[in-house]
Structure 1
Amino acid sequence: MSKQNLLVELFVEELPPKALKKLGESFAGVLFETLKAQGLVSDESVVTNFATPRRLAAHVTAVAAKAADKQVAQKLMPASVGLDANGNVTPALVKKLQALGADESAVAQLRKENDGKADILFLDATQAGATLAEGLQKALDEALAKLPIPKVMTYQINDGWESVNFVRPAHGLVALHGTQIVSATVLGLSAGNSTQGHRFEAKNATITIQSADSYAQQLADEGAVIASFGARKAEIVRQLTAAAAKENLTPIDDDALLDEVTALVELPNVLLGQFEQEFLEVPQECLILTMKANQKYFPLLDANGKLTHKFLIVSNIKPADPSKVIGGNERVVRPRLADAKFFFDQDRKKTLESRIDGLAKVVYHNKLGSQGERNARVVAIAKAIAEQINPSLTAKVIQAARLSKVDLLTDMVGEFPELQGIMGRYYAQHEGLDDDVAFAIEDHYKPRFAGDDLPRHQVGVIVALADKLETLVGLFSIGEKPTGDKDPFALRRQALGIIRMLIDGKLEVSLSDLTTLAISIIGSEQIQKEWSLKLSQLEAANKPATSGDRMVATGYVGRAMAPGALENIKEFIFDRLANNLREQGSSSQEVDAVLSLTPELLSEVPARLAAVRSFASLVEAPALAAANKRVGNILKKVEGELTTEVNANLLQEPAEKALADALTAVKPKADQLFESGDYTASLQALAVLKAPVDAFFDNVMVNADNVDLRNNRLALLNQLHQAMNRVADLSKLAS
């Protein structure tokens, strides 16, 4: 059958820029896969997606006008139901054949096939392949139904009566197979071969597409449109780089902004603008944010990464004289920058310390109180951590924790919430506070996302740990644990932040100690708050308090202080750690082997993983892992307390004596290496146990009839098990 290239375009009003890239990829991808599922394209066919502010399109190579017919086997019913005892057709079979569009003459085509239980009747038939018109209609319907539309709008189509739902009103549909129009209808539009180019720059108002392969070139030549999202993005990068190079400057690197600007223009034209240098007195983060977020400009940086008073504009038009476009953009950005300067000047008139009381008026969570109450909890947790990690930093930690949230009350952060922490650092530096304190105010939000930097100094690390622990434990205490893919308070991110600081920061502090500390502080505060509330209620009712009232008052905190709270939070953190390690390339077996021991010092996890990986490469590893699993299963079945004390006088068999001797020889060395932190060498030292362990299981009956012999052999196995599983649970490596 003849194969030609296919072009499909849906012409619409301006699409949401932040969604355009995904919309274009989805439209082309689903269209292609649906055509492929119907046999209209082959594995050799290639799909190219196009996406501009006003169109979604796809070009597919080697598309058949009609899919090939195929043989299908239609399962009917058990032979005992479709045929009577004499082999004649039953009414049930006749009815089934009629439903499939066949008659009794099709009986000759039936065949029997046993499914292991009974003979089943099948009808072998030829299914006609779909025509391109049929297949494209189905593909279009599927592509539109699966578009990741952020928000649907309802509008009337041209007949003035019927309404449809789509991301934006659609005004045209192109469907060309080679040069031929393919019949299709969507959103009240019938397929044709004409579209529109750029609103202002197109040579012709309407462009007639000659063939599927001429689409992109015609749009470029006649419509002044770069149809490919990728090509348009590359052209913007080229122009940005060239324009910045003329000024010996560098445009800010922001891929999300680049994608958004690419989705706003069809014919990019980069122009240079500037603003008054006096605005550079404002922290550059504020100026950069307002230019990027509000105006979609690309700020220009000097060789030292400092913001300059120049910026780049990506215009959608190419006038002969661009001065009016540049001047208009400069006039628009100036009030934005003036607002930022005003906020900055006003905020500095009040000290951070003077704003602390205002946190009491800001609600954090209706069950956890105000930001002031939360801040007090963070201070208490941070103080306790500092006293454990580095007591000399306690005073700085307390000050940084106290001031960590007060910039939420400033005008600048009120206007630009993304600057929380950053502005606190600037205001702290303006007041002459210690740099450790100032940077901790900014850094206590870090790491904010995967790959983000850790806090720069230990003061910031301690406050960040306290902040994330307070969030995690506090929200767990009121039942806000994430479920499925829902995590409204980003607790998974908080847990990963704790993990990274403990591991990457190499902090030798116990996870249980940290979590217990946070639980105790949050619990005691909630008890006090609930008891005070109850007392005030009783006082208002003129009733004396009883012990029962105290139980009611403290009942709220039960969830935070209940038995198992520590284990639940640790389990949540270890679950995030396990996922993170797998994403970084560790195998599930390696991760399970290390984390099944729930090591208290997360800073040791990378070394333990490396040791397990090295051990697994040894030739003795599979046998030792299998033996370890066998030992573990034996010990699990033992009732009562196990000991590791082996009585040498009760060792009878040569194999058990050999194992005991081998353990006596190797265990001290392995333990010494473990204690020194050389986990790899510690595990490798155990490799010599393979031969005696194999001989033991080949020649020794563990569950001997004699109780003393049995208990002594179990003690030997328990000693072996403990020696082998200090670094990781090696049984997890067994296949």
Structure 2
Amino acid sequence: MSNKNLLVELFVEELPPKALKKLGEAFSGVLADSLRAQGLATAEAAVTAYASPRRLAVHVTGVAAQAADKAVQQKLMPVAVGLDASGNATPALLKKLAALGADASVVPGLKRQSDGKADVLMLDSVVKGATLAEGLQKALDESLAKLPIPKVMGYQLQDGWSTVNFVRPAHKLIALHGADVVPIATLGLTAGRETLGHRFEAKTPVVSVRDADSYAAQLRDEGAVIASFAERRADIVAQLQAAAAKAGLKPIDDEALLDEVTALVERPNVLTGQFEDAFLAVPQECLILTMKANQKYFPLLDAAGKLTSKFLIVSNISPADASAVVGGNERVVRPRLADAKFFFDQDRKKTLQDRVGGLAKVVYHNKLGTQGERIERVKWIAATLAYELGIDVPRVVEAATLSKADLLTDMVGEFPELQGIMGGYYARHDGLGDVVANAIEDHYKPRFAGDELPRNDVGVVVALADKLETLVGLFGIGQLPTGDKDPFALRRHALGVIRMLVERDLKIDLARALQVGEEAWLSADGQLEVRPLLATTQANLADFIYDRLAGNLREQGYSAQEVDAVVSQRPQRLGDVAKRLAAVRAFAALPEAAALAAANKRVGNILKKVEGALPTTVDAKLFKEPAEQALGEAIAATAPKADAAFASGDYTASLQALAALRAPVDAFFDGVMVNAEDAALRNNRLALLARLHAAMNRVADLSKLSA
């Protein structure tokens, strides 16, 4: 049975650039997986994905012309149903066999096997392996059905009557097994070996692919197309770096833009353009965003990271004289930059303070009121937190008041991504100073994973207030994230709260922070729909935040046991979490750790079974056994040391002090019956264990370290 390399290409009209990378990966991945599942390709088969603006393709090595036959065993029916008293086949069995293509001649060879309820008849047979034509047709159909298509369009086939639905109209299909065409069809197309090259640069408009292995080289040489997405992307990166280095500059780093541009060109050619220096008076964020979002250019920065008047163009053509291409792009970008300058100049004619009143007309959420009402809540939370943390309250209130005012500017109206950033520029223009301006700019931070925190304490408090208001409000109306859906970015907001409390070591309990957020809603004017649900919001929100905290700690490299031991105790000062984790790790390295963790788990299980309130008073006069006397004395000697270390924040010393309890704890469980018949004796021993449990679990739940 011959194994050859396989190529499949679907040639279409221009695919959506932001989706091309995923489309290419899905097309190749699903098709190859289907071939493997059918036995036409092995698990070791190398799969190469191709994706360009007008094609999706895949190359798979070592594909068989026909899959090997496969032995299968099929369950027929219970013996009592399939055979009569004489052991002959019943009509029901004969009908079942006929449906499977067998007859009564196989009855003597049927196996009997128990399925756990009764003996059943089993038929051994051989299923003929699929041919490549059959298997590839199935694989292609499955691949197209599972493509993550952003939006499907319907179009008519050449017959003028039939309509098909796909991401873009398809025009050609290639399926080559080695040099042989595989007879498959889809979307009104029959497989062949022809495809089209670059619209303008191809040596020959139609490329006839000789065999599966010559595809990429022929497209490059004859069709002027780099079919591989990864190869084309790498080529763009190399050209960008070379062109920037020639000018002594560096291109802006933007992975999403790089992917999008890679999806727009078939054979990239990087050129350098320039605009007038006068536009550099506009904030560079505005210029960078308009060049990236509208023109797909790569702005060039100097060594200090400051925007220059030069930019890079990734062209899809390579003329001998590129001046016309460069000139055309320069003419196109000027009106965009002029618009940005106009917006910036117009916005500065009105102060941020003058815009605050207009927020009362901007809807924040139909159940949560306007942006004006939202600002009042953010101000209340920020002022309260600032007072309790000893941070400049007037500056905090001023920054919170103006934090959303830039939503009403022309620049943010055109580029919503600049909210906060433009507020900072306009605050400086209004003479408010860097502290307030930076706080306004930073209050959305952290905007994404790994983003920096606000630069100053005022910004931290306003950012914390903004996120608490959002979390409490949306939890209050039941808008919780579900699965992978989080339309209001509540996971990111929760992580922002965690990072600020942890990394800035803010001296405020999480419960108090959530309480302040809730109080802002309770004191808000108007009958907002969030109020009836606030009773359960705080507990649910705390669970959500601790879940995010646990996930974040595991991502940082802490073990699941270490994280569970600390987070299960719901520490209120999140700034202490790192110290608690370090203490747990140091404790786990002690030779006494395993035994104490196991004992702690045992104590916890005993105490859980106690009905009613736990006894709290330990009476040394009731100690009967030497082991309980020794444990009581050990706790009395150890607990104060552990508590003192805990109170001073030395969590490592607090846990290590517990090592002295191992021997008396082991002896207690070896020689003392906790559930004694005498009620007074039993309660005294339970109270002793409760005291032990409390002493052992102040820093972390040590039972989580037990295997």
For normalisation by structure 1, the TM-score amounts to 0.94
Q: Map 1:631-642 onto structure 2 (within 5 A).
A: 631-642=603-614
* Structure 1 residue 43, shift from structure 2 partner: 2.1
Q: Which residue of 1 aligns with 2:464?
A: 465
Three-state SS of the structure 2 residue aligned to 1:223 is coil
* Structure 1 residue 497, shift from structure 2 partner: 1.0
Aligned partners of 2:506 and 2:575 also within 8 Å = yes
The CA RMSD measured in Å over matched residues stands at 1.4
Query: Is 2:488 the counterpart of 1:489?
Result: yes
Aligned partners of 2:473 and 2:530 also within 8 Å = no
Q: Which residue of 1 aligns with 2:526?
A: 529
Q: Which residue of 2 aligns with 1:84?
A: 84
**Change in CA separation of 1:245 and 1:725 when aligned onto 2, cut-off 3 Å:** same
Q: Map 1:231-246 onto structure 2 (within 5 A).
A: 231-246=231-246
Three-state SS of the structure 1 residue aligned to 2:171 is strand
Q: Which residue of 2 aligns with 1:558?
A: 532
Three-state SS of the structure 2 residue aligned to 1:5 is strand
Q: Which residue of 2 aligns with 1:550?
A: none
Aligned partners of 2:472 and 2:538 also within 8 Å = no
Three-state SS of the structure 1 residue aligned to 2:8 is strand
Cα distance in 1, alignment partners of residues 371 and 472 from structure 2: 16
Q: Map 1:345-364 onto structure 2 (within 5 A).
A: 345-364=345-364
Cα distance in 2, alignment partners of residues 515 and 718 from structure 1: 30
Q: Which residue of 2 aligns with 1:263?
A: 263
Stretch moving more, 409-418 or 647-656: 647-656
* Structure 1 residue 665, shift from structure 2 partner: 2.2
Q: Which residue of 1 aligns with 2:95?
A: 95
The aligned length equals 707
Query: Is 2:561 the counterpart of 1:589?
Result: yes
* Structure 1 residue 638, shift from structure 2 partner: 2.3
Q: Which amino acid aligns with 1:341?
A: K
Cα distance in 1, alignment partners of residues 591 and 30 from structure 2: 48
Q: Which amino acid aligns with 1:467?
A: D
Cα distance in 1, alignment partners of residues 668 and 628 from structure 2: 6
Cα-to-partner distance string for 1:312-357 (whole Å, 9 max, x where unaligned): 0000000111011000000000000000001111111111111111
Cα distance in 1, alignment partners of residues 362 and 6 from structure 2: 59
* Structure 1 residue 637, shift from structure 2 partner: 2.4
Cα distance in 1, alignment partners of residues 124 and 396 from structure 2: 79
Aligned partners of 2:476 and 2:530 also within 8 Å = no
Stretch moving more, 44-53 or 573-582: 573-582
**Change in CA separation of 1:47 and 1:630 when aligned onto 2, cut-off 3 Å:** same
Cα-to-partner distance string for 1:557-583 (whole Å, 9 max, x where unaligned): 2222x2x33212212211222222233
Cα distance in 2, alignment partners of residues 243 and 310 from structure 1: 11
**Change in CA separation of 1:337 and 1:683 when aligned onto 2, cut-off 3 Å:** same
Three-state SS of the structure 1 residue aligned to 2:222 is helix
Three-state SS of the structure 2 residue aligned to 1:635 is helix
Q: Map 1:426-445 onto structure 2 (within 5 A).
A: 426-445=425-444
Stretch moving more, 487-496 or 178-187: 487-496
Stretch moving more, 471-480 or 506-515: 471-480
Cα distance in 2, alignment partners of residues 720 and 348 from structure 1: 66
Cα distance in 1, alignment partners of residues 548 and 389 from structure 2: 24
Query: Is 2:689 the counterpart of 1:717?
Result: yes
* Structure 1 residue 681, shift from structure 2 partner: 2.5
Q: Which amino acid aligns with 2:470?
A: T
Q: Map 1:640-719 onto structure 2 (within 5 A).
A: 640-719=612-691
Cα distance in 1, alignment partners of residues 648 and 349 from structure 2: 55
Cα distance in 2, alignment partners of residues 660 and 396 from structure 1: 55
Q: Which residue of 2 aligns with 1:253?
A: 253
Cα distance in 1, alignment partners of residues 43 and 343 from structure 2: 59
Cα-to-partner distance string for 1:213-255 (whole Å, 9 max, x where unaligned): 0000000000000111111011101111111111100000111
* Structure 1 residue 166, shift from structure 2 partner: 0.5
Cα distance in 2, alignment partners of residues 109 and 585 from structure 1: 58
Cα-to-partner distance string for 1:581-628 (whole Å, 9 max, x where unaligned): 233333333222212211111111122222223323333323222211
Cα distance in 1, alignment partners of residues 89 and 596 from structure 2: 65
Three-state SS of the structure 2 residue aligned to 1:568 is helix
Stretch moving more, 269-278 or 489-498: 489-498
Cα-to-partner distance string for 1:371-417 (whole Å, 9 max, x where unaligned): 111111111110000000124x1111011001100001111101110
Cα distance in 1, alignment partners of residues 106 and 610 from structure 2: 68
Stretch moving more, 685-694 or 419-428: 685-694
Q: Which amino acid aligns with 1:659?
A: L
Q: Which residue of 1 aligns with 2:62?
A: 62
Structure 1 counterpart of 2:551, from 576, 579, 586: 579
Q: Which amino acid aligns with 1:247?
A: A
Q: Which residue of 2 aligns with 1:146?
A: 146
Cα distance in 1, alignment partners of residues 380 and 362 from structure 2: 19
* Structure 1 residue 479, shift from structure 2 partner: 2.6
Three-state SS of the structure 1 residue aligned to 2:526 is helix
Cα distance in 2, alignment partners of residues 587 and 102 from structure 1: 57
* Structure 1 residue 687, shift from structure 2 partner: 2.2
Q: Which residue of 2 aligns with 1:608?
A: 580
Cα distance in 1, alignment partners of residues 34 and 529 from structure 2: 57
Q: Which amino acid aligns with 1:414?
A: G
* Structure 1 residue 449, shift from structure 2 partner: 1.3
Q: Which amino acid aligns with 1:199?
A: R
Cα distance in 2, alignment partners of residues 691 and 292 from structure 1: 68
Aligned partners of 2:477 and 2:529 also within 8 Å = no
Q: Which amino acid aligns with 1:621?
A: A
Q: Which residue of 1 aligns with 2:23?
A: 23
Q: Which amino acid aligns with 2:543?
A: E
Cα distance in 1, alignment partners of residues 264 and 2 from structure 2: 39
Aligned partners of 2:23 and 2:149 also within 8 Å = yes
Query: Is 2:417 the counterpart of 1:418?
Result: yes
Cα distance in 2, alignment partners of residues 727 and 82 from structure 1: 67
Q: Which amino acid aligns with 2:531?
A: V
Cα distance in 2, alignment partners of residues 613 and 187 from structure 1: 60
Three-state SS of the structure 2 residue aligned to 1:33 is helix
Cα distance in 1, alignment partners of residues 36 and 475 from structure 2: 48
Cα distance in 2, alignment partners of residues 574 and 668 from structure 1: 30
Cα-to-partner distance string for 1:184-232 (whole Å, 9 max, x where unaligned): 0010100000101000000001110000000000000000001111110
Q: Which residue of 1 aligns with 2:510?
A: 511
Query: Is 2:379 the counterpart of 1:394?
Result: no
Cα distance in 1, alignment partners of residues 521 and 298 from structure 2: 45
Cα distance in 1, alignment partners of residues 483 and 195 from structure 2: 45
Cα-to-partner distance string for 1:125-151 (whole Å, 9 max, x where unaligned): 111001000110000001000101111
Cα distance in 2, alignment partners of residues 160 and 613 from structure 1: 72
Stretch moving more, 154-163 or 278-287: 154-163
Cα distance in 1, alignment partners of residues 530 and 241 from structure 2: 59
Cα distance in 2, alignment partners of residues 199 and 555 from structure 1: 58
Q: Which residue of 1 aligns with 2:319?
A: 319
Q: Which amino acid aligns with 1:502?
A: L
* Structure 1 residue 19, shift from structure 2 partner: 0.4
Three-state SS of the structure 1 residue aligned to 2:199 is coil
Three-state SS of the structure 2 residue aligned to 1:495 is helix
Q: Which residue of 2 aligns with 1:500?
A: 499
Q: Which residue of 2 aligns with 1:535?
A: none
Cα distance in 1, alignment partners of residues 260 and 485 from structure 2: 27
Cα distance in 2, alignment partners of residues 641 and 73 from structure 1: 61
Three-state SS of the structure 2 residue aligned to 1:88 is coil
Cα distance in 2, alignment partners of residues 378 and 295 from structure 1: 37
Query: Is 2:336 the counterpart of 1:336?
Result: yes
Three-state SS of the structure 2 residue aligned to 1:529 is coil
Cα distance in 2, alignment partners of residues 596 and 478 from structure 1: 27
Q: Which residue of 2 aligns with 1:36?
A: 36
* Structure 1 residue 26, shift from structure 2 partner: 0.6
**Change in CA separation of 1:114 and 1:640 when aligned onto 2, cut-off 3 Å:** closer
Cα distance in 2, alignment partners of residues 104 and 637 from structure 1: 64
